[in-house]
Each structure stands twice: as structure tokens, then as C-alpha cells.
Amino acid sequence: MSNEEGMVVYSSKFNRYGISFTMTTANNIDSQITGYVCSMPQELQQVGLPVTISGVLKRFNQEENIKPEIGGQDLYYLATNQIIKRQ
């Protein structure tokens, strides 16, 4: 994915920051995607911060048992190439 707009989220359940967005190429317009970042830069650890991201979404391993908290939500690891704060 490249230059997707989203916002920073935090999950206390997973103790991790991520980016929540709707991919423009998603087949389902109701699908909310959250990509959890392994190491979110300190200056971007602000819930609700609008960002533009580029990177690769990777599925969680089945044994990790990480399940969406709400319907229509898809969860992934997000290997980021770039995260930029939007103005």
C-alpha cells in the first residue's frame, strides 16, 4: 500500500500503537483496517493523529489468536516504509 491516509490508534488489549484506515482498494467499503506497528516513533504516539502511510500489511499468525474487537474490522501487522504526520 502506498500513501494511504489514516489515524493513529492505541489498543490496550494488544499494548500496541497502530494506524486505522479504510483502504481505497478494499472490496468492502465498510471494512476498517488497523495495522499494528512494531515500533511507532515516539513523536507519532498520539491517538487520533492524522497520518499518511506506506508499507506492507502482514497477517497475524493463527496461534497469536488476535481477533477484531468490532465487526467489520481487519487487523494486521503493518511493516511501514513511511509514516508522515498530515497537516
Q: What is the domain partition of the chain in residue ranges?
A: 4-85
Report CA torsion sign: 29, 32, 38, 40.
Answer: positive
Nearest to 54 by CA among 1, 14, 6: 1
Q: Residues of the chain with pLDDT > 70: what percent?
A: 76
Whole-model pTM: value is 0.81
- Residue 28 pLDDT exceeds 60: no
- Residue 73 pLDDT exceeds 80: no
**Distance, CA of 33 to CA of 72 (rounded, Å):** 8
Q: Which cell goes with 33?
A: 483496517
